[in-house]
Amino acid sequence: MRIELNEKVFGGRVILGPLALEVERGQRVALLGPSGIGKSTLLRIIAGLDRDFDGRLSGDDRLAVVFQEPVLLPWRKALDNITIPTGCDTATARDLMAQVGLSGHEGQFPRQMSLGQQRRLALARAFAVRPDILLMDEPFASLDAETAARMIGLTLELLERSGAGLIHVTHDTGEPARLAARPLRLGGSPAVLLG
Amino acid sequence: MSKSRRYPWQSPGVVPGLLSLLAMLLLWIAVAWLSDNPRMMPPPFEVAAHIRQIIVSGELWHHAGMTLFRVLASFILAMLVGLVLGLWMGRSRGADHWLNPGLVIALNVPALVVIVLAYIWIGLNEMAAITAVALNKIPVVTVMIREGTRALRPDLDDMARAFRMSPLDRLRHVVLPQLAPHIAAAARAGISLIWKIVLVVEFLGRSNGVGFKIHLLFSSFNVAGVLAWALAFVAVMLAIDLFVLRPWEARANRWRRDED
């Protein structure tokens, strides 16, 4: 996956670029920077959710996103929340649910689960597309320390097992080390990668 | 949120509801007795006898069946067209700007005008009848679905795009479930509006159906007959609401409950 960004304009103001970032399967990168600097915008561009930018996005890696909130389909049961968006088979989905400690919750609707469980379900969903690179947008931001530690542990396990790469957006300077990710700082105006 | 299992007669409001019905019946008896003119104001038991007669003779089922068929056909047509238009107008600002003036006009055209013009332009046939009823209902459905579409959650949209869900899957699993409450509301409001318009359409230009029967009885000034047909058909429509629409709505809202 490679992004060469000349600039990204938002609300009449250049907020990002010029910058280039290349991430391969197995590589882990953390995008750091204060709130509002444009980390999430950059992630949305990489994920293909924002196409209104000047630059070039290339590569044919399979990407999967873990959003800041779980973003589940409230009207579909937990298992269907993996199979429907990703198109994976039921056995794979069950296996992933077991890996994130959600065995037995397959038939529950999201609102019947705790927030921590919903986040683990979102993590399992992302791995169901067998991504080459996982994109995470502050997925541990609003969690208490214990739950965050558990989520980070699970993410690490799944990354190791699947060999996927990672682009991790965070403002927590401690997180990159815990995920063994190379920290890249985003700063300046318009924001560029400071290495 | 959750409701413990109860018998229907234990729900709040049932006793006052039944008493209010009884009061209306007593009022009717009193007015009929005071007017002392059974032709103009027939007492309830006379109307009940008439209902019994049209049930036993099978007439009710034939005409109510025709009316129900028209209700169903125009209902499905109006819901489908209204859903497509509402989704389109809710999603695309351009479409909304272009179609909104027409929608506002359509909302304010009297039902009778649409019916008369449909009969003149299409002919005195079933197609004209069903089209006229559907045309009356489409703008209302469109507005309700448009509002629902505007309130669709952008985060779920992002999720669907990020996971590259197909358009059909998105419609089925992401968009329609969010619109379900709006669709159910449009359907409930729609069915009661539609059956009233269907009776007018039948009154004006069909040779069967409840509206046609009321036309005949009106010509012969048979008030008991008019009331009998009206009440019998109201009962049929209430039964549909109670045994078809409500259970469907409850099923569609299952995921909102906390425990299963």
pLDDT tens digits along B108-144? 999 999 999 999 999 999 999 999 999 999 999 999 9
| Residue A11: pLDDT band with limits 50, 70, 90 | confident
Find, among B81, B97, B73, the residue nearest to B201 by Cα: B73
- Residue A119: predicted pLDDT: 93
Confirm whether B92 is domain-assigned.
Answer: yes
Judged by CB atoms closer than 8 Å, whether chains meet at B163 and A85 is answered as yes
A49 touching B (Cβ < 8 Å): yes
Confirm whether B33 is domain-assigned.
Answer: no
Q: Which of B159-163, B184-188, B193-197 has the highest mean pLDDT?
A: B159-163
Confirm whether B1 is domain-assigned.
Answer: no
Q: How far is CA A116 from CA A152, A157, B256, in A?
A: 12, 17, 19
- Residue B240: predicted pLDDT: 85
Tokens of B111: 């039902």
- Residue A57: predicted pLDDT: 92
Domain count, chain B: 1
Residues A16 and A41: beta-carbon distance below 8 Å? yes
3 state SS of B184: helix
| Residue B245: pLDDT band with limits 50, 70, 90 | confident
- Residue A45: predicted pLDDT: 94
CATH for B207: 1.10.3720.10
Alpha helices by DSSP H, listed for chain B, are 14-35, 44-56, 59-91, 93-108, 111-122, 126-150, 154-162, 167-169, 176-205, 210-219, 223-240, 246-252
Backbone angles phi and psi of A132, in degrees to 5:
-80, -35
By CB atoms closer than 10 A (0-12, 13-18, 19+), residue B207 is exposed
| Residue A21: pLDDT band with limits 50, 70, 90 | very high
pLDDT at A195 over 70: no
Confirm whether B35 is domain-assigned.
Answer: no
Confirm whether B105 is domain-assigned.
Answer: yes
Fold annotation for A2-62+131-193? Rossmann fold (3.40.50)
> For chain A, which residues make up each domain, given as ranges?
2-62+131-193, 73-121
Which residue matches tokens 């039964």?
B239
- Residue B6: predicted pLDDT: 60
Can you name the residues that pair with A182 across neighbouring β-strands? A29
Residues B190 and B75: beta-carbon distance below 8 Å? yes
Confirm whether B169 is domain-assigned.
Answer: yes
Judged by CB atoms closer than 8 Å, whether chains meet at A84 and B161 is answered as no
Selected for mutation to probe chain A from B1, B253, B255 (highest A CB count within 10 Å) is: B255
Rounded Cα gap, residues B159 and B255, in angstroms: 19
Backbone angles phi and psi of A143, in degrees to 5:
-100, 150
Express as a percent the part of chain B with pLDDT over 90: 75
Confirm whether B260 is domain-assigned.
Answer: no
Judged by CB atoms closer than 8 Å, whether chains meet at B155 and A69 is answered as yes
Closest to B258 (Cβ–Cβ): which among A65, A84, A111? A111
- Residue B257: predicted pLDDT: 66
Rounded Cα gap, residues B210 and B199, in angstroms: 6
- Residue A48: predicted pLDDT: 92
| Residue B258: pLDDT band with limits 50, 70, 90 | low
Helix axes B176-205, B59-91, angle to 10 degrees: 130
Tokens of B81: 């067209």
CB pairs under 8 A between A and B: 55
Range of the domain at B139: 44-254
Confirm whether B224 is domain-assigned.
Answer: yes
H or E element in which residue A85 lies: helix A78-86
